[in-house]
Chains A and B, each alone.
Chain A
Amino acid sequence: RKEVEQDPGPFNVPEGATVAFNCTYSNSASQSFFWYRQDCRKEPKLLMSVYSSGNEDGRFTAQLNRASQYISLLIRDSKLSDSATYLCVVNPPGAGSYQLTFGKGTKLSVIP
Chain B
Amino acid sequence: DAGVTQSPTHLIKTRGQQVTLRCSPKSGHDTVSWYQQALGQGPQFIFQYYEEEERQRGNFPDRFSGHQFPNYSSELNVNALWLGDSALYLCASSHKTAHYGYTFGSGTRLTVV
Residues of A participating in the B interface, judged by any CB pair closer than 8 Å = 4, 32, 34, 42-46, 49, 87, 91, 96-105
Contact = CB atoms under 8 A, between A and B. Distances in A.
Contacts of A45: 104
Interface of B: 31, 33, 35, 40-45, 48, 55-56, 58, 90, 99-102, 104-107
A99 B45 contact: yes
Contacts of A42: 106
Contacts of A49: 100
Nearest to B58: A99
A99 B70 CA distance: 22
Given A44-B43, A87-B42, A98 B104 contact: no
A30 B64 CA distance: 27
A101 B46 CA distance: 11
Contacts of B44: 102
A98 B48 contact: yes
B106 A98 contact: no
Contacts of B33: 98-100
Nearest to A89: B42
B43 A99 contact: no
A98 B54 CA distance: 11
B42 A96 contact: no
A99 B56 contact: yes
A104 B42 contact: yes
Contacts of A103: 42
Given A44-B43, A44-B90, A100 B105 contact: no
A78 B80 CA distance: 46
27 contacts: A4-B42, A42-B106, A43-B90, A43-B104, A43-B106, A44-B90, A45-B104, A46-B101, A46-B102, A49-B100, A87-B42, A87-B43, A97-B56, A98-B31, A98-B33, A98-B99, A99-B45, A99-B56, A99-B58, A100-B43, A100-B45, A101-B45, A102-B35, A102-B43, A104-B40, A104-B42, A105-B41
